[in-house]
Amino acid sequence: MRDIIINQPLDMHLHLRDNDMLKLVAPFSAKSFSGGLIMPNLSTPITNKQMLMSYKNRVLEAIDGNNFEPYMTLFYQNYDTKFLKDIQNDITAIKLYPAGITTNSKQGVSNFDIKELEPTLSVMSELDIPLCVHGETDGFVMDRESQFMDIYEQLATNFPKLNIIMEHITTKDATKIVQKYDNLYATITAHHLLITLDDVAGGFLDPHLFCKPIAKRYEDKEALVKLATSGNKKVMFGSDSAPHPTHKKECCGCAAGVFTAPIALQLLCELFIKDEQNINLQEQNLQKFLSSNAVDIYGLTPPNKTITLREKNYKVAVDYKNTTHTITPMYGGKTIKWSII
């Protein structure tokens, strides 16, 4: 058996939802990670300080005593200077959603005219507040991310002092753009490193692998894996773990989101650790992807936590439930090759 030790693992794109769902899912992330970047797209998006601090307190109550730092984000709107100066020490980033493109994003941005975005983004640049972006248009579903690349380039060139994080990239095009500009960075999920559209809909439809942005082609997955496992400082792990009740996944009108929080570290270990000859380099690159890169990009000081993974079979639970919700994880009921010990 082989052990891999990860120090201060971070999940830099995490959906914890709220209320009873929050209480069910938060402990999974809090046990495995030192911290997580908490997404603000609740049913009523987080748009002011009172909402932000109230939600943070609910997250802290839900993590069940684990040593875990919730790095909070604000839902992008055209905020003024006074507001941003008042809230800057309470947030780690601001998250921009195109209007209606994913869960709870109807209040997002509908016009990407740089002149309209400039007042807020200029102040964010001055205050060193990073911008996280769900980068999709409303075009054909397989092309939505690629069609957004021009907008990323406009943002990067017009706001060179603004750190911009391309969230959950899924395409070969995105792996190239992120390396083209000094102020562009990216998160990559575990599921986009492991699956293609064939896994979602190539045979029987698997609703628990359906997400937005949708999984793409084999060449896209290969480009993502190459970038993530290379140790490149521009990319970091963001699970985009997005729980929905099982009955909202296994139905007509399936909700988009893959719940990976209980197995994300194990899946990444299996992906990165391939052979004994390069074990030290593989472990170093996994540490960069899971922690060091995010620490440098965001300027974080995560809580001390060490997670040990062992090359030992682990049977994924069929589902997880409390008195209100039942949720089904990615690979529910299947066996994976690594365990947290």
Contact assessment for residue 178 and residue 186, using Cβ atoms and an 8 Å cutoff: yes
| Residue 240 is among the residues annotated as catalytic for this protein | yes
Task: Report the C-alpha gap between 276 and 280 in whole angstroms.
Answer: 8
Neighbours of 290 (CB within 10 A): 26
Q: Distance between CA atoms of 233 and 227, rounded to whole angstroms?
A: 10
User: How many helices, marked H, and strands, marked E, lie in the chain?
Assistant: 14, 15
Residue length, the chain? 341
First CA to last CA distance, the chain: 12
Of 159, 152, 122, which is closest to residue 137 (Cα–Cα)? 152
Looking at the DSSP bridge assignments, the partners of residue 93 are 73
Of 268, 241, 267, nearest in space to 256 by CA: 241
From the candidates 138, 198, 240, 275, give the one annotated as an active-site residue: 240
Q: Tell me the C-alpha distance between 132 and 96, whole Å.
A: 6
89 contact partners, CB below 8 Å, separation of at least 6: none
Q: Which residues are catalytic?
A: 240
